[in-house]
């Protein structure tokens, strides 16, 4: 299992065995951070810890049986990129330290009051009222019930819908083959406009 492999990794490298989290893939983490830094595309790292105080669905079967989590708690901490180490070794240690904190945070959560807050009370955003959540659920259920049926009806009744659908398939396959994906196109556009903004700011200062 994934947990067993994580424990084997811990034993092999002389690390602490975790009960609530798996050991992080620090090599992949450092690679991504370094690449994003090179392109000046990273201003912060958000550390998000998720906990389920009641039932924890493990497989799709649980979801099909209606075993949805009654509550989901999030702990979010933002680290500005200038506070994050730059060397590969220090960055790996930094990542492991965050996971140690996650383990301890989740231990306190599950063995304590099932809450991340030190006061013992969860901080619920005003937008998360029970009525609002119920309304969102109903609208989502209605949308995802009617939308597929509507798309099938359009494809069956109108030739332009079939042509549009075929064109979109060709477009997405082509851009994936040529550019590697929409996210890379978006990243290239972001870099271009950011470079243009810097050039514009420099031009204004020089004037």
Q: pLDDT tens digits, residue range 76-89?
A: 999 999 999 999 99
Task: Give phi and psi for 66, each to the nearest 5.
Answer: 80, 15
Half-sphere CA count of 92, side-chain side, radius 13 A: 8
Q: pLDDT tens, 46-56? A: 999 999 888 77
Which residues neighbour 34 within 8 Å (Cβ) at sequence distance 6 or greater? 88, 91
Residue 127 has pLDDT above 80, yes or no: no
Q: Which of 31, 23, 114 is nearest to 75 (CA)?
A: 114
Residue 197 has pLDDT above 90, yes or no: no
Rounded to whole angstroms, the Cα distance separating 121 from 115 reads: 7
Task: Give phi and psi for 193, each to the nearest 5.
Answer: -70, -30
Residue 128 has pLDDT above 70, yes or no: no
3-state secondary structure of 61: helix
Is 9 exposed, middle or buried, given 0-12, 13-18 or 19+ CB atoms closer than 10 A?
Answer: middle
Give the pLDDT band of residue 173 (cuts 50, 70, 90).
very high
Residues 135 and 77: beta-carbon distance below 8 Å:
no
- pTM here is 0.63
Task: For residues 132-136, give the mean pLDDT.
Answer: 84
3-state secondary structure of 67: coil
């Amino acid at each position: 299992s994934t947990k067993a492999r994580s424990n084997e990794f811990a034993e092999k490298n002389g690390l602490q065995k975790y009960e609530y989290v798996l050991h992080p893939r620090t090599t992949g983490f450092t690679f991504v951070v370094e690449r994003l830094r090179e392109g000046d595309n990273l201003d912060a790292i958000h550390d998000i810890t998720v906990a389920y105080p009641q039932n924890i669905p493990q497989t799709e079967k649980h979801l099909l049986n209606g075993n949805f989590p009654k509550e989901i708690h999030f702990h979010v901490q933002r680290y500005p990129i200038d506070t994050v180490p730059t060397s590969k070794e220090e960055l790996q240690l930094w990542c492991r330290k965050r996971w140690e904190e996650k383990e301890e945070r989740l231990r306190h959560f599950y063995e304590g009051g099932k809450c991340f807050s030190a006061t013992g009370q969860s901080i619920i955003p005003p937008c998360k009222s029970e009525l609002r959540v119920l309304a969102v659920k109903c609208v989502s259920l209605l949308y995802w019930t009617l939308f597929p049926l509507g798309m099938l009806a359009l494809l069956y009744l109108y030739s332009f819908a079939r042509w549009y659908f075929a064109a979109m398939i060709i477009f997405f396959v082509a851009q994936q083959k040529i550019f590697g994906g929409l996210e890379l196109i978006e990243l290239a556009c972001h870099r271009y406009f950011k470079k243009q903004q810097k050039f514009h700011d420099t031009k204004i200062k020089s004037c």
